[in-house]
Structure 1
Amino acid sequence: MEATDTDEIQLRHVEKDVLIPKMMREKAKERCAEKVEAFNHCCKDTGFLMVFKCREQNAALKECLTIHYRDPVFFEQCKQEYIQEKLEFLRTGIAPKNRKQKLPTSM
């Protein structure tokens, strides 16, 4: 598969409906980092009562995440990034998570 134009790549059902949305969730958490931190901080401070005491932080976090999940431009950005990673894997045989690891400098 030597295609370089990402529009030519056919994605499987699992890629469109599972893998790209997973990437979207991870990136949305990064984009909503302030809300994630506020919710986590609230939960740590309140313990068992977090269900009641952290409603405001939870609602703000859900709203932030939902905005990204429903954004077709964000989906397209994640899709293009996924395709680039897939093409790089097909070219090199190295998975993206392994590609980011440093290689030993001496053997």
Structure 2
Amino acid sequence: MKPSYVYILKCSDNSYYTGVTSNLNKRLLDHKSGIHIDSYTYSRRSLELVYFAEFTDINLAIQTEKQIKKWSRAKKEALINNEYEKLPNLAKKKF
């Protein structure tokens, strides 16, 4: 089975872009070269790969990408920085 990847790019405006692909190297080249003019990352180049995870199940990769896209910036940064112990607290809503 072909591996799939969930990845996070840090954009030039310090925002994060989360994506999923089956060919990480090609997808990074596409982002960096600006091949897709209407994409989120096109006007936010230069880009830095700050996180990726490999999956053997594309459906799980897609599900994970959708989940991460809903996360706060703080939670994404905890993931990027391997601070997994912070993730549960960052998931709690503050009232």
Q: What TM-score range do you get, normalising by the shorter chain? A: under 0.3
TM-score (norm 1): 0.25
Rg larger in 1 or in 2?
1
- Higher normalized strand content (fraction of residues): 2
